[in-house]
């Protein structure tokens, strides 16, 4: 197995973000930390292909006097689909000539107000539509666990860099699984929060159903918990109960539903067995576990696909107006164009799909009146090898392969509920296989307390660890 990581005996060691904060409180300087992170990025990115834009000189300058906040001086990356002042925003496509953004968007403003220090932006699949970041010109983003496999998507670049030890924490967002998928593939913690939990850029807020949520990818549950605690100090939605300061494992024994069959697709026998083995370990911890059929209607996959394709059609039809004369539709990949065509052919069904998406939250609320958490595999199969989801293949081939793999995560994007992928399983081939836990509306605190419990009780391996 060909692995790549940057862990070593420099000032970053194997510290997570909270550990790095503690080390800087003891005298480690932000300048030293940034220099080490830049060196680590340069050592692994040739193999991973994770970085979209390098802002290393800016980071060095900022490290001299880092902005205040709990994470002051902690190096990070932002995904290439949020506005960051001075950095180009491409959404993972070659379809226009990007220019530096004039100002931070609402998300970056909140994110960086926690003290995080950006080294640049990370690669993603075109518009985030594919669960694997692959590009005709630039090639794929590869998993540091095995370079022959994808790093997931769409937040693949961020996940690959965190897993490889280049930075301890990075931004991702999730419209169909795009935090949870790369977390599962790269042995990370990936929480998709409740809808409207964090500040978001206008494009995300303007969707008819706000399926996209921003968040972070980390190597520890405590880093994810610390991020949400600090983000709430900057911006908080008063309609949601606060996540709060989660530092200890939960004590409550929970009712957990276990589901091994996805929406319209089955998980492989190996993945189903790994899920049931995880359930058995939870039972040993004292939780009540019950295997059930998937509570999601059979029609959901078609409704979600049509809504997803509407977003592609919007990008295709407004491209010239949004990006000017440099816009070139011919540079879009087959998945984007195929999704847009799918929507055009089915426009008459779109209102029903939107209504079904909006109603999904009521079905989810009913389910969580019985169960505290729902355990599923994050993904239905082992991580595909590079080339399986190549963007120059016919749309029908790509879509069928995506549906086989991504059969669990979109439900929470429709319902708006939180879900977290934890690195609790490993395939026979030695690849991480994330396990996903969904909770009721606004219950991130429960997920984080549970995550701290299983991290402490069961643990998980990372790259560079014995």
Enzyme catalytic residues: 79, 154, 178
SS (H, E, C) the chain: CCCCCCCCCCCCCCCCHHHHHHHHHCCCCHHHHHHHHHHHHHHHHHHHCCEEEECHHHHHHHHCCCCCCCCCCCEEEEECCCCCECCECCCCCCCCCCCEECCCCHHHHHHHCCCCEEEEEECCCHHHCCCCCCCCCCCCCEECCEEEEECCCCCHHHHHHHHCCCCCEEEEEECCCCCHHHHHHHCCEEEECCCCCCCCCHHHHCCCCCCCEEEEEECCHHHHHHHHHHHHHHCCCCCCCCCCCCCCCCCCCCEEEECCECCCCECCHHHHHHHHHHHHHHHHCCCEEEECCCCCCCCHHHHHHHHHHHHHHHHHHHHHHHHHHHCCHHHCCHHHHHHHHHHHHCHHHHHHHHHHHHHHHHHHHHHCCCCCEEEEECCCCCCCECCCCCCCCCHHHHHHHHHHHCCCCHHHHHHCCCEEEEEEEECCCCCEEEEEEEECCCCHHHHHHHHHHHHHHCCCCCCCCC
Q: How far apart are CA 268 and CA 382, in angstroms?
A: 8
From residue 261, alpha-carbon distances to 45, 291, 436 in Å are 36, 11, 13
Cβ-based neighbour number of residue 265 at 10 Å: 16
User: Could you give the count of Cα atoms lying within 13 Å of 72 in the half-sphere of its Cβ?
Assistant: 13
Q: Are 187 and 423 contacting, i.e. CB atoms less than 8 angstroms apart?
A: yes
Bond prior to 20 in cis (omega within 30° of 0): no
The sign of the torsion formed by the CA atoms of 296, 302, 307, 308 equals positive
Phi-psi region of 137 (alpha: psi -120 to 50; beta: other; left: phi over 0): alpha
């Amino acid at each position: 197995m060909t692995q790549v990581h940057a862990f070593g005996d420099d000032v970053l060691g194997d510290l997570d973000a909270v550990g790095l904060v503690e080390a800087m409180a003891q005298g480690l300087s932000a300048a030293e930390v940034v220099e080490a992170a830049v060196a680590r990025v340069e050592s692994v990115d040739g193999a991973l292909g994770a970085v979209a834009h390098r802002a290393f000189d800016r980071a060095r300058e900022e490290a001299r006097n880092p902005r205040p906040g709990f994470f002051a001086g902690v190096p990070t990356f932002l995904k290439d689909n949020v506005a960051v002042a001075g950095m180009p925003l491409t959404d993972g496509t070659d379809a226009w000539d990007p220019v530096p953004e004039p100002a931070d968007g609402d998300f970056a403003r909140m994110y960086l107000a926690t003290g995080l220090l950006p080294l640049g932006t990370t690669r993603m699949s075109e518009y985030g539509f594919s669960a694997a970041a692959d590009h005709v010109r630039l090639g794929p983003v590869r998993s540091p666990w095995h370079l022959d496999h994808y790093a997931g998507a769409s937040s693949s670049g961020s996940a690959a860099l965190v897993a490889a030890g280049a930075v301890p924490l990075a931004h991702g967002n999730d419209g169909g699984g795009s935090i949870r998928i790369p977390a599962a593939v790269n042995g990370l913690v990936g929480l998709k929060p409740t809808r409207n939990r964090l500040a978001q850029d206008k494009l995300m807020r303007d969707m008819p159903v706000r399926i996209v949520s921003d968040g972070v990818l980390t190597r520890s549950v405590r880093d994810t918990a610390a991020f949400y605690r600090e983000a709430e100090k900057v911006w908080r939605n008063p309609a949601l109960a606060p996540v709060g300061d989660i530092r200890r494992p939960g004590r409550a024994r929970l009712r957990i539903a276990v589901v091994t069959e996805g929406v319209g697709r089955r998980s492989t026998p190996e993945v189903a067995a790994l899920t049931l083995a995880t359930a058995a370990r939870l039972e040993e911890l004292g939780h009540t576990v019950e295997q059930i059929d998937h509570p999601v209607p059979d029609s959901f996959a078609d409704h979600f696909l049509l809504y997803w394709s509407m977003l592609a059609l919007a990008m295709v039809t407004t491209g010239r107006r949004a990006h000017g004369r440099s816009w070139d539709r011919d540079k879009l990949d087959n998945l984007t164009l195929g999704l847009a065509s799918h929507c055009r052919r089915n426009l008459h069904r779109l209102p029903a799909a939107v209504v079904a998406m909006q109603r999904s939250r009521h079905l989810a609320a009913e389910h969580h009146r019985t169960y505290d958490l729902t355990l599923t595999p994050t993904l239905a199969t082992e991580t595909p090898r590079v080339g399986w989801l190549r963007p120059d293949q016919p749309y029908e081939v790509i879509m069928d392969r995506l549906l086989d793999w991504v059969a669990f995560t979109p439900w929470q994007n429709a319902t708006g509920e939180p879900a977290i992928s934890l690195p609790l399983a490993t395939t026979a081939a030695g690849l991480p296989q994330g396990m996903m836990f969904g909770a009721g509306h606004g219950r991130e605190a429960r997920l984080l307390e549970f995550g701290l419990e299983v991290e402490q009780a069961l643990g998980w391996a990372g790259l560079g660890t014995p």
